């Protein structure tokens, strides 16, 4: 049987101990990779591997569990599917942080929400372009279908971990060159303020769920097929004029959306 999790901590600390092996139970009806996944999950649940901690390498795990690296890799993949770990190319495998409580109410500000959770908010502009408003965007912004609007594609993160992937639409000519404003101020709120919108409120929010596409999973650093929360929202300025329609995809394992009145 697998030995105690206390033995495993010796491996994580890099201590070489030939007697510290953790053998897999053979012929018990449970796959070796699943036993590895269950055992590491127990270590994570017990706090032996806290949020953000790096797991031992595949080679270290293979040695301690007395299996090949392919079996270890399958176990780590299962943990990624469970939303417990995240593999980062060239860096290793890390324990996922606890989900961020993300309240949605009249004033929803990503940076403020993440900062209140004790995490560092980040945002990256993926692209900016003038596009023709489709029917849903036109209705949300109160413009004619096909009217030109500016689209901003962004990736937002907490402590460097991707949280949401979104496309925001803003009416023209009021928000011309809005991508430049976002780059200059580092947030939607700051960019809006630079255009004379000192405050704004949420008019409508619609939430649904679906599996991530391969491209979305890659952008959010998720295992393919993981669940996403799709959030469509409309923001208005102090006069009640629509200024922003956003289609955002949140990693469900990393976000706890709370609707407030």
Q: Please, which residues bridge with residue 249 across strands?
A: 165, 230
Q: Tens digit of pLDDT for each residue in 172-202?
A: 999 999 999 999 998 999 999 999 999 999 9
Q: pTM to 2 decimals?
A: 0.72
The number of domains in the chain is 2
Q: Are 124 and 164 in contact (CB under 8 A)?
A: no
Same structural domain, 173 and 187 = yes
The band of 237, judged by pLDDT with boundaries at 50, 70 and 90, is very high
Helices within 89-176 (DSSP H only): 110-116, 135-141
Same structural domain, 51 and 145 = no
95, 130, 146 — which closes off a domain?
A: 95
**Arithmetic mean of pLDDT over the chain:** 87
Q: Are 32 and 71 in contact (CB under 8 A)?
A: yes
36, 61, 95 — which closes off a domain?
A: 95
CATH number for the domain that contains residue 10: 1.10.10.10
Distance separating alpha carbons of residues 222 and 214, to the nearest angstrom: 9
pLDDT given at position 23: 62
SS3 122: strand
Same structural domain, 91 and 106 = no
Q: Tens digit of pLDDT for each residue in 195-225?
A: 999 999 999 999 999 999 999 999 998 877 8
Same structural domain, 193 and 84 = no
Residue 84's alpha-carbon distances to 61, 96, 214, in angstroms, are 17, 5, 19
Distance separating alpha carbons of residues 219 and 166, to the nearest angstrom: 11
Q: Are 47 and 6 in contact (CB under 8 A)?
A: no
pLDDT given at position 174: 97
Same structural domain, 131 and 255 = yes
Same structural domain, 170 and 221 = yes
Residue range of the domain that includes 13: 5-95
Of 110, 120, 39, 121, the C-alpha closest to 72 is: 39
Same structural domain, 54 and 170 = no
Same structural domain, 141 and 48 = no
SS3 235: strand
Tell me: pLDDT of 139 over 60: yes
Same structural domain, 233 and 120 = yes
CATH number for the domain that contains residue 204: 3.40.1410.10
pLDDT given at position 26: 60
DSSP for 154-203 reads EEEEETTEEEEEEEEEEETTTTTTHHHHHHHHSSHHHHHHHTT----EEE
pLDDT given at position 30: 72
Q: Tens digit of pLDDT for each residue in 78-132?
A: 898 888 888 877 788 989 878 889 999 888 889 899 988 888 899 999 999 999 9
Q: Please give the share of the chain, as a percent, with pLDDT higher than 90.
A: 58
Same structural domain, 230 and 139 = yes
- The pairing of strands 85-88 and 255-259 is unpaired
Same structural domain, 107 and 234 = yes
């Amino acid at each position: 049987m697998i030995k105690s999790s206390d033995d495993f901590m010796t491996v994580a600390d890099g201590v070489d101990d030939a007697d510290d092996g953790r053998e897999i139970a053979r012929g018990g009806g449970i796959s070796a990779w699943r036993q590895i996944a269950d055992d590491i999950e127990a270590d994570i649940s017990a706090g032996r591997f806290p949020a953000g901690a790096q797991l031992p390498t595949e080679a270290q795990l293979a040695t301690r569990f007395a299996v090949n690296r392919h079996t270890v890799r399958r176990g780590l993949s299962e943990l990624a599917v469970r939303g417990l770990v995240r593999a980062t190319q060239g860096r290793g495998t890390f324990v996922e942080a606890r989900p961020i409580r993300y309240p949605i109410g009249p004033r929803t500000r990503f940076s403020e929400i993440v900062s209140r959770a004790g995490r560092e908010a980040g945002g990256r502009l993926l692209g900016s372009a003038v596009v023709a408003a489709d029917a849903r965007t036109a209705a949300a912004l109160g413009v004619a279908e096909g009217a030109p609007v500016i689209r901003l594609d962004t990736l937002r993160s907490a402590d460097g971990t991707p949280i949401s992937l979104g496309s925001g639409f803003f009416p023209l000519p009021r928000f011309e060159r809005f991508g430049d404003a976002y780059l200059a101020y580092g947030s939607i709120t700051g960019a809006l303020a630079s255009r004379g919108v000192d405050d704004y409120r949420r008019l409508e929010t619609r939430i649904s769920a679906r599996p991530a596409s391969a491209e979305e999973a890659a952008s959010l650093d998720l295992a393919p097929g993981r669940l996403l929360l799709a959030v469509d929202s409309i923001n208005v300025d102090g006069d009640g004029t629509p200024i922003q329609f956003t289609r955002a995809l949140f990693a469900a394992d990393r976000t706890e959306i709370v609707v407030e009145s």
